[in-house]
Amino acid sequence: MKILSLLALITALGLNDTTSAWAAGNHSGGHDHGDEHKSDITRLLMSVVSSARGMELFVEKGCVACHAVSGVGGHDAAALDAHDLDEFVNPFDLVAKMWMMAPSMIAAQEEAFGGQILFTGNELSDIIAFLQDDVQQQQFTEHNLTEEAIVMMDHEHGALAAVEEHTEVAGHSDSEHAHD
């Protein structure tokens, strides 16, 4: 939600003219740096984000294998609960942190999954939206884990034990959720 607030602020301040200029075709497809291409417009296209889609991608892409949200997920890396993060976040700062951690993250991905996990810009935008949306995160439970995600989590504890351990850490059990 905080990122959505930032996008609303950008729109309210009229700073979204860059996306309008881009959509209207006021951009250069080539690298000709002649005077006709000089402009005061920074061509930065910001995606419309979805924290719900980000929640699905958090599982699908394997982030959940090492990171926990709401106590659900791996514990090899930092928990990513929105209520523990800064109120407002520059999404590029998160990407910069990921970049700094890239060598160790890639090594862990290759060891656990047999290869590096790849993201598009839109996928990262949605995941960042999920990481900042406390309301969406409260809906995230072990029921969101797919069979594939449980297999990905197997690198740490064993597939079924992973779900049990991760929910026990959060103070939940399957019997508690049977009554939800």
165/105 same-domain check: yes
Residue 164 has pLDDT above 60, yes or no: no
pLDDT computed for residue 152 by the predictor: 86
165/91 same-domain check: yes
93/81 same-domain check: yes
Average the pLDDT over 83-93 and give the result. Answer: 87
pLDDT computed for residue 79 by the predictor: 94
Q: Which range of residues forms the domain containing residue 14?
A: 1-46
Domain boundary among 29, 46, 63: 46
Overall number of domains in the chain: 2
* Cα–Cα nearest to 9, from 79, 72, 81, 90: 90
Residue 25 has pLDDT above 60, yes or no: no
40/102 same-domain check: no
As a whole number, the mean pLDDT across the chain is 75
* Cα–Cα nearest to 128, from 27, 51, 25, 72: 51
Residue 160 has pLDDT above 80, yes or no: no
12/25 same-domain check: yes
100/120 same-domain check: yes
39/111 same-domain check: no
Residue 170 has pLDDT above 70, yes or no: no
Q: pTM of the prediction?
A: 0.65
The answer to which of 40-49, 51-60, 134-143, 170-179 has the lowest mean pLDDT is 170-179
